[in-house]
Structure 1
Amino acid sequence: MGKIKDIDRVNYVIHFFSAGNTDYWLYTEGVYNELVKHFGEIDYISDEIDFQKYTYYYNMEMGQNVKIKARMISFKNLYSPGFLAEAKTITNDIEKKYSVDGKRKVNLDIGYVHHMQFVLASTKPWGNRIYLSKGIYAEITLMYVYEQWKAFDHSYQNFKDKEYQEELTKIRNLYLEKRKKWLAGKIR
């Protein structure tokens, strides 16, 4: 019989994207404050990333003539990976709050970085996703193997890109420092 061990804490991350200037929605419209209210202090926000080069899918909802840009956001506090389903329902509620006429103006893809993987939450079932609860599934989007991110056939194209993986590496490095402190009992 296997011995049950304590669950390793993880670093929650949001892939935030919107049409036009991400700063407008993040700061002017108050998405930043919503995120802090629910997930705690933010310790990293990437520069804007061109999300438009991967897909035009979201233009139907966010605007046909506007470029969609993204940022990767990391939270300071470490949480249980078991919080993922609840976290996704929270981000869905925030997306609804900032919708206009039923169309999202911001998209908040929540997941987490662990030293071995990057996991995303989804409301859509698929063969590579595991059901959690509350209608939410988890997908291992990337694995960290031999000091680099490894994508899968099912991984979203943007997360296969070097630019995104570099951002996730920065967040992973922050996580590793926080994890050392957590394992040593220096942070909760």
Structure 2
Amino acid sequence: FLTSFLTMKDIDNAVKRLASSQVKLFVGMLSGDAALFEQIAGILTNIFGPSDIESPVWSWEHTTYYQEEIGADLKRKFIFFEKLINPGDIAEIKLKTIELEKQHLNESGGRKINLDPGYLDTAKLVLVTTKNFSHRIYLNNGIYGEVTLIYSGRKYRSLPYTFPDYKTDEYLEVFNKARDIYKEQTSNK
């Protein structure tokens, strides 16, 4: 029925708009046990599909906020997924990562790993959290989103509230590389 009103060009344009509304999912992993990254990455790829880029493991000393629960000598790693997602799914993805954290608790009941999902597109990098704050917007089911980085002048740039580690050259290099892959993925659609 609809095809009698739509031309192939209309359908092609709709497909391109849909493809351009998809975003690149990533998960930041933070733990005192770097060996846990491989195990969690395996679980995440079972849920979200294969990864197409992974960061190195970096030492993480930007705050003591997580030390009591997760431990000292923290490490950070990012994993980016090949399959693009609808940005509206990010709150549900955060809930899945919270459940995964609960499956990996230490003897005192604290998390062994912190999982921070987010997404990027050509204009921004978005993180999600359970913590409300002035610059965050409510998404769904107790989850808030924030634009953490914006893309301007051929690179991602921080904002006044951007976490210090997300401002580092190492992170920005990986995010820009992931953005390049995302651009290739969406230009082929």
TM-score normalised by length of structure 2:
0.86
- Provide the residue aligned with 1:25 in structure 2: 36
Larger Rg: 2
Q: Deviations over 1:100-120 (max 9, x none)?
A: 232111111000011100000
Are the aligned partners of 2:165 and 2:171 in contact in 1 as well (CA < 8 Å)? yes
Of 131, 138, 142, which aligns to 1:124? 131
Of 78, 81, 93, which aligns to 2:99? 93
Runs of 4+ in 1 over 6 A off after TM superposition: none
- Provide the residue aligned with 1:75 in structure 2: 81
Task: Name which of structure 1's ranges 84-93 and 95-104 shifts more when overlaid on structure 2.
Answer: 95-104
Matches of 1:36 and 1:165, distance apart in 2: 23
Please tell me the residue identity of whatever aligns with 1:33: G
The reply on whether 1:108 has 2:115 as its aligned counterpart is: yes
Please tell me the residue identity of whatever aligns with 1:18: S
The reply on whether 1:37 has 2:71 as its aligned counterpart is: no
Deviation at 1:137, TM superposition (A): 0.6
TM-score normalised by length of structure 1:
0.87
Identical pairs, percent: 32
SS at match of 2:174: helix
SS at match of 1:35: helix
Aligned-pair Cα RMSD in Å = 1.5
Of 62, 69, 72, which aligns to 2:70? 62
Greater helix share, structure number: 2
Alignment of 1:99-178 (within 5 A): 99-100=105-106, 101-178=108-185
- Provide the residue aligned with 2:7 in structure 1: none
- Provide the residue aligned with 1:51 in structure 2: 60
Structure 2 unaligned regions, length at least 5 = 1-16
Deviation at 1:26, TM superposition (A): 2.2
Number of aligned residues: 172
